[in-house]
């Protein structure tokens, strides 16, 4: 029996239990499934008997499995038995670009950043000899970790699509996505979910001709990617890497918002919730109702897209430079060498982590700076830990001088270095402190020793410690937060590695 006709509850390969069929077309189906060995959701593609392109799809999946760039949905397993062939892929949670465009065009810089990051990811794929060839707004998702491109090579194999010039084909497809984010219209006949772009002499009009407020630089890049008439002397863009670099140069910086007369703090933190390939309108209604209860809406979701794409856009130039190594993600941000680490230092593992908000009363912040999320940093759970969102300015909305994440080492230690994965957007400043109490009080904060001076941090950053001070509690202390758009500011930490020794 073919896996295509399997019912929910069917187990493939002794581990992948099918739950819901989430998409289907002539000869294949996509399922949400559970990997019972690793206890995680996965996507499984199965095939109908006699599906003519199984060999091509399996070959594409095997090729895609070699890439490890986090912006490309991963292929986990491939079964090549032609009677019961199936493919197991990452279950990419989040809203598609199509979902985001359902409410109309996006803020130009936010949409351009998403497409720029997708272009950088595809540049990595092309450098390894792989192409997508089937990009649509459903191929791009935003997740808690940033932009995710799904279906690399596999979607084209399922549909039987090929191209004489794969790089040029993917670049034009990215140009169509960019056009859609800027205008809310589709520059072609093959995506009925969006209204078609108006034509002039058989070609789509430029974004600035159909929507006011589109920056001239983004309009020019879009026209070059789509091979439309352009005033630029540089000619068209014919590779995803060239498009990524052009967008990186064209995207205007976010303005620094003015501080309000009465700064406020917001405790809500947005997250991506819709699963990969989900097209159930009941779920959309559920999340919209949740947004209304929380007092958020489509404008906030668009702002979240800007945040998540900002987190990863810093890697665009690195990902498309000659120094990029195939199949490996770039390390974003500045990092100092380990320097004067003790020769007996080793990796130290904290026993617990929590938020640390000693300058705010329990009444004003009962969650102690999102303390419930802090263990995500130690367990490497998606999203990590983030401060609350502050409104008005980068200095906590004028409410206090700092906040942080505190790590309990279980016993006194001396630290030689701490590597922290911050958000990839500029604007944050932080330092390391150490002490012997986790009491939430200004007095305890004042008693702690500064291990490093305050410094600008972004992406993967290593604090090198020259102090011999010891203590049981290490604090990563923010003194300034980066902008996440919309006049809001928030710090984020997703991973920590500590080098040192017992005191």
Alpha helix ranges (H) inside 321-431: 375-379
Here the tokens at position 309 are 């794409």
The better pLDDT of the pair 198, 342 is held by: 198
CATH of the domain at 463: 2.60.120.260
Instruction: Categorize the per-residue pLDDT at 334 as very low, low, confident or very high, splitting at 50, 70 and 90.
Output: very low
Three-state SS at 29: strand
Rg (CA), the chain: 24
- Look at residue 332 and tell me whether its pLDDT is greater than 60: no
75 and 111 fall within a common domain: no
Here the tokens at position 296 are 């958020």
Asked if residue 45 is part of any domain, the answer here is yes
DSSP of 217-272, one letter per residue? Answer: HHHHHHHHHTT---S-TT----SHHHHHHHHHHHSPPPPPPPPPSS--EE------
Alpha helix ranges (H) inside 432-477: 442-447
- Look at residue 24 and tell me whether its pLDDT is greater than 90: no
What is the residue range of 423's domain? 346-502
- Look at residue 1 and tell me whether its pLDDT is greater than 90: no
Of the candidates 353, 378, 375, 384, the residue with the CA atom closest to the CA atom of residue 146: 384
- Look at residue 321 and tell me whether its pLDDT is greater than 60: no
pLDDT above 90: percentage of residues in the chain: 61
Of the listed ranges 64-78, 111-125, 455-469, 483-497, the least confidently predicted one is 483-497
365 and 489 fall within a common domain: yes
Q: Is 357 exposed, middle or buried (0-12, 13-18, 19+ CB in 10 A)?
A: buried
Asked if residue 332 is part of any domain, the answer here is no
CATH of the domain at 188: 1.10.510.10
Determine the Cα angle at 295 with ends 290 and 296, to 5°. Answer: 75
Q: What is the mean pLDDT of residues 19-39?
A: 91
Determine the Cα angle at 153 with ends 148 and 156, to 5°. Answer: 110
Instruction: Categorize the per-residue pLDDT at 57 as very low, low, confident or very high, splitting at 50, 70 and 90.
Output: very high
Each residue's pLDDT tens digit, 400-447: 999 999 999 999 999 999 999 998 888 899 999 999 999 999 999 999
Of the listed ranges 79-93, 183-197, 489-503, the least confidently predicted one is 79-93
Q: How many domains does the chain have?
A: 3
What's the rounded Cα separation, in Å, for the pair 309 and 425? 9
117 and 177 fall within a common domain: yes
Q: What kind and span of H or E run contains 57?
A: helix 54-64
Q: What is the mean pLDDT of residues 74-93?
A: 89
351 and 489 fall within a common domain: yes
Q: What kind and span of H or E run contains 437?
A: none
The pLDDT, as a whole number, for residue 252 is: 74
Instruction: Categorize the per-residue pLDDT at 293 as very low, low, confident or very high, splitting at 50, 70 and 90.
Output: very low
- Look at residue 378 and tell me whether its pLDDT is greater than 80: yes
Phi-psi region at 39: left, alpha or beta (left = phi > 0; alpha = psi -120 to 50): left
- Look at residue 329 and tell me whether its pLDDT is greater than 70: no
- Look at residue 272 and tell me whether its pLDDT is greater than 80: no
CATH of the domain at 25: 3.30.200.20
CB 28 within 8 A of CB 11: no
Rounded to two decimals, what is the model's pTM?
A: 0.55
Q: What is the mean pLDDT of residues 95-118?
A: 92
Of the listed ranges 280-289, 462-471, 490-499, the least confidently predicted one is 280-289
Asked if residue 100 is part of any domain, the answer here is no
- Look at residue 268 and tell me whether its pLDDT is greater than 70: no
- Look at residue 298 and tell me whether its pLDDT is greater than 80: no
Please write down the HEC assignment for all residues of 281-336: HHHHHHHHHHHHHHCCCHHHHHHHHHHHHHHHHCCHHHHCCCCCCCCCCCCCECCC
Report the sign of the C-alpha dihedral through residues 392, 393, 398, 401, in that order.
positive
Three-state SS at 356: strand
CB 72 within 8 A of CB 121: yes
CB 78 within 8 A of CB 50: no
The pLDDT, as a whole number, for residue 93 is: 83
Q: Show contacts of 209-214: CB within 8 Å, 24+ apart.
A: 210/183, 210/185, 211/105, 211/182, 211/183, 211/184, 213/108, 214/108, 214/182, 214/183
Asked if residue 215 is part of any domain, the answer here is yes
18 phi/psi in degrees, rounded to 5 = -70, 135
CB 90 within 8 A of CB 277: no
Asked if residue 81 is part of any domain, the answer here is yes
Q: Between helices 108-127 and 216-225, what is the axis angle to 10°?
A: 40
The pLDDT, as a whole number, for residue 485 is: 78
116 and 85 fall within a common domain: no
What's the rounded Cα separation, in Å, for the pair 183 and 197? 8
Instruction: Categorize the per-residue pLDDT at 383 as very low, low, confident or very high, splitting at 50, 70 and 90.
Output: confident
The pLDDT, as a whole number, for residue 231 is: 57
- Look at residue 98 and tell me whether its pLDDT is greater than 80: yes
Instruction: Categorize the per-residue pLDDT at 112 as very low, low, confident or very high, splitting at 50, 70 and 90.
Output: very high
- Look at residue 64 and tell me whether its pLDDT is greater than 50: yes
Q: What is the mean pLDDT of residues 97-124?
A: 93
Each residue's pLDDT tens digit, 207-237: 999 999 999 999 999 999 999 875 555 689 9
- Look at residue 193 and tell me whether its pLDDT is greater than 70: yes
State the chain's mean pLDDT as an integer. Answer: 82
For residue 114, what are the CA distances in angstroms to 194, 210, 302, 365, 401? 18, 21, 11, 33, 33
44 and 167 fall within a common domain: no
Asked if residue 335 is part of any domain, the answer here is no
Q: What's the distance, Cα to Cα, between the start and end of the chain in Å?
A: 63
300 and 398 fall within a common domain: no
Asked if residue 189 is part of any domain, the answer here is yes
What's the rounded Cα separation, in Å, for the pair 157 and 408? 50
435 and 396 fall within a common domain: yes
Asked if residue 337 is part of any domain, the answer here is no
313 and 217 fall within a common domain: yes
113 and 244 fall within a common domain: yes
Of the listed ranges 13-17, 317-321, 344-348, 373-377, the least confidently predicted one is 317-321
79 and 213 fall within a common domain: no
167 and 243 fall within a common domain: yes
CB 79 within 8 A of CB 85: yes
């Amino acid at each position: 029996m073919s896996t295509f006709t399997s019912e929910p509850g069917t187990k493939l390969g002794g581990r992948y239990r099918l739950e819901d069929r989430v998409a289907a077309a002539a000869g294949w189906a996509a399922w949400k499934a559970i990997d019972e060995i690793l206890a995680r959701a996965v996507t499984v593609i199965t095939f109908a008997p006699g599906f003519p392109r199984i060999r091509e799809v399996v070959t594409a999946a095997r090729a895609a499995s070699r890439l490890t760039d986090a912006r490309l949905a991963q292929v986990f397993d491939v079964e090549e038995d032609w009677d019961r062939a199936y493919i197991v892929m990452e279950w990419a949670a989040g809203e598609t670009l199509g979902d985001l465009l359902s409410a109309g065009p996006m803020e130009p810089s936010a949409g351009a950043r998403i497409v720029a990051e997708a272009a950088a990811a595809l540049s990595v794929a092309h450098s390894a000899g792989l192409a997508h060839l089937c990009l649509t707004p459903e191929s791009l998702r935003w997740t808690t970790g940033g932009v995710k491109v799904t279906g690399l090579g596999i979607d084209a194999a399922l549909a039987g699509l090929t191209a004489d010039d794969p790089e040029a084909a993917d670049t034009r497809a990215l140009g169509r996505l960019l056009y859609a984010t800027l205008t809310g219209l589709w520059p072609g006949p093959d995506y009925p979910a969006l209204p078609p772009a108006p034509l002039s002499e058989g070609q789509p009009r430029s974004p600035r001709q159909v929507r006011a407020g589109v920056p001239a630089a983004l309009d020019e890049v879009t026209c070059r990617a789509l091979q439309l008439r352009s005033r630029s002397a540089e000619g068209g863009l014919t590779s995803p890497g060239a498009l990524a670099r052009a967008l990186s140069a064209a995207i205007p910086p976010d303005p620094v918002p003015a501080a309000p007369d009465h700064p406020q703090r917001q405790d809500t933190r947005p997250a991506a919730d819709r699963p990969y390939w989900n097209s159930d309108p009941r779920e959309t209604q559920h999340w919209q109702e949740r947004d209304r209860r929380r007092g958020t809406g489509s404008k906030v979701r668009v702002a979240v897209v800007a945040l998540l794409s900002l987190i990863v856009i810093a890697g665009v130039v690195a990902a498309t430079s000659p120094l990029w190594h195939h199949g490996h993600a770039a390390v974003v941000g500045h990092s100092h060498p380990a320097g004067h680490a003790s020769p007996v230092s080793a990796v130290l593992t904290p026993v617990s982590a929590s938020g640390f908000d000693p300058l705010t009363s329990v009444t004003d912040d009962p969650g102690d700076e999102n303390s419930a999320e802090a263990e995500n940093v130690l367990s490497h759970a998606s999203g990590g830990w983030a401060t609350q969102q502050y409104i008005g300015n980068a200095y906590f909305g004028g409410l206090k001088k700092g906040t942080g994440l505190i790590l309990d080492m279980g016993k006194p230690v001396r630290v030689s270095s701490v590597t922290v994965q911050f958000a990839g957007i500029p604007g944050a400043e932080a330092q390391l402190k150490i002490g012997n109490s986790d009491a939430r009080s200004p007095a305890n904060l004042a008693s702690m020793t500064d291990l490093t001076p305050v410094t600008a941090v972004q992406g993967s950053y290593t604090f090198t410690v020259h102090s011999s001070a010891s203590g049981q509690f290490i604090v990563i202390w923010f003194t300034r937060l980066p902008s996440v758009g919309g006049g809001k500011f928030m710090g984020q930490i997703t991973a920590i590695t500590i080098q040192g020794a017992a005191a």
